[in-house]
Amino acid sequence: MNHMTSKARLTLVPLFAALVLAGCATSASIDSSSLPVTPTAFKESTDPVASAAPVSPEVQAQGRWWAVFSDPVLDQLVEQASRSNNSVQVAAGRLAQARAIAGATDANRSVQLGLGAGAVRQKDITTGNVPQTVVSVSANLSYEVDLFGKLSGASNAASLDAQSREALLRSTRLLVQADVAQTYLNLRALDAERALVKDTLQAYRNTLRLTEVRFKEGDVAELDVARVRAEVASTESEALALDQRRAQLEHALAVLVGEVASSFQVAPGEWATALPAIPAGVPSTVLTRRPDVSAAQSSMQAAQARVGVAKAAWFPNFSLTANGGYAAPELKDLFKMSARAWGVGALLSLPLLDGGRREAGVQNANAELDIALANYREQVLVAFKDVEDQLSALRLLADQSEAQSRSVASASRATVLSDSRYRNGFVSQLELLDAQRSELRNRRQALQVKAAQYLATVGLIRALGGGWSA
């Protein structure tokens, strides 16, 4: 009896040693000093409401941030893209795939139950080599005891992968929405610029007709007619170039909203989109609002959990099994009490020599964690850079817009004065054309600065992570 007890104790020594060392299978720790330091305030922000409270991720995910531009056409296009854009649908499919993988991984922690049936024709020396048919039906049950957290760690990692995919879906949707908004605003800016160029072209044509009449009457030289004709042709070329750019933007917008470019059209219209002022908030809110940062964080945590899974491979697997059923040489005798068979068991397995496979698995998991950590650091740095870029752009564009407004006012006044002096014979037509060209150039530049302000505003919203409470 004592001999048997000692033998049992020796058999259980490896298991007890593994239980003592199970703490080594925990996930790897991450040094907080290796993560970027969150600044207390944005360098480029001068907004007095910079301490605006962040909204919760649930509210953020449902935020219709584009509504602040008060443009019904923009609202329709963004909502259509959110439903039909192919990149969004691909991201949604990858999320569904990640969730399915997480479900399959978590299923390994559950009891496994299966049914089986069969019929075997065989010879058995105990029956005198007489062929015999054995019919059987059985149920098999197994359960792996997760002593060292290997199964729970794998399930947790797969769940974090699904969370990362969910965040990437939100990030893709935000990216598409911002692209639609910026493309549409570029389209409206081009509409305004085309209208300005066409108005100027009409004015040049009127001037050409008047100059041709005066040339026929001998009041002006042929040189004046040639100059105005050149100006008309040059302005017509610029108008056609703007038409080409608008067509390309319209085609790009069709792809973003999931429609065929041949049947998609955005009618030219007045640029009446509002230009909102966006509160930047405090930097710490960016890390909780930006879905790409959330995705990188979940991927890092998943890699961290897989380090623990790789370490748990060093410890034994412990499974419980049970089976029961019936087996008989005749089908009519299959479910008789005498045909019953059952069994229960426990299996403990611990590989001793694997050629370094488990150690390589741990090293690979650590390398994956290093990569995920570097990706997370990069994503955080890029997030703060994006916000600072758009804040500085908006600040400088505001100053540029004010300076351009002064330039437009001066150019307009110069055109009026030149026209008056030309009509009174004090200056040549060349000076008048120069003044008109200068005014047109300044007005177009003012429209381009205005468009850049809209694009930077959308860029800031995207950099901050999307919607917010008004």
Q: How confident is the model at residue 26 (pLDDT cuts 50, 70, 90)?
A: low
**Whole-angstrom Cα distance, residue 389 to residue 44?**
8
133 has which bridge partners? 121
- Res 7: pLDDT: 47
Does the pLDDT at position 323 exceed 80?
A: yes
Q: What is the CATH number of domain 22-109+146-186+248-315+354-464?
A: 1.20.1600.10
Nearest to 159 by CA among 299, 259, 314: 299
What is the average pLDDT across 35-62? 59
Q: How confident is the model at residue 27 (pLDDT cuts 50, 70, 90)?
A: low
- Where do the domains of the chain lie? 22-109+146-186+248-315+354-464, 113-145+319-349
- Res 330: pLDDT: 67
- Res 346: pLDDT: 81
Does the pLDDT at position 31 exceed 90?
A: no
For the stretch 309-318, pLDDT in tens is 888 888 888 7
Q: How confident is the model at residue 208 (pLDDT cuts 50, 70, 90)?
A: confident
- Res 60: pLDDT: 45
Segments of 231-339 assigned E as strands? 317-328
**Whole-angstrom Cα distance, residue 461 to residue 387?**
9
Q: Are strands 317-328 and 131-145 parallel, antiparallel or unpaired?
A: antiparallel
Token pair in block for residue 211 = 């100059």
- Res 10: pLDDT: 44
pTM: 0.81
Does the pLDDT at position 72 exceed 60?
A: yes
Does the pLDDT at position 14 exceed 80?
A: no
What is the average pLDDT across 223-236? 89
CA 3 to chain centre: 66
For the stretch 132-190, pLDDT in tens is 777 778 888 888 888 788 888 888 888 999 999 999 999 999 999 999 999 999 999 99
Residue 29: HSE in the Cβ half-sphere, 13 Å Cα cutoff: 5
What is the average pLDDT across 372-377? 93
Fold of 113-145+319-349: Outer membrane efflux proteins (OEP) (2.20.200)
Residue for token pair 């299966």: 114
Q: What share of the chain has pLDDT > 90, as a percent?
A: 40
Token pair in block for residue 173 = 């949707």
**Whole-angstrom Cα distance, residue 439 to residue 204?**
13
**Whole-angstrom Cα distance, residue 130 to residue 135?**
16
322 has which bridge partners? 141, 344
What does 82-144 look like in DSSP terms, one character per residue? HHH-HHHHHHHHHHHHHHHHHHHHHHTTS-EEEEEEEEEEEE-GGGTT-EEEEEEEEEEEEEE
Residues, the chain, total? 470
Q: How confident is the model at residue 49 (pLDDT cuts 50, 70, 90)?
A: very low
**400: buried, middle or exposed (CB in 10 Å: 19+, 13-18, 0-12)?**
middle
For the stretch 82-119, pLDDT in tens is 999 999 999 999 999 888 988 888 888 888 888 888 77
Q: What share of the chain has pLDDT > 70, as a percent?
A: 86
- Res 265: pLDDT: 92
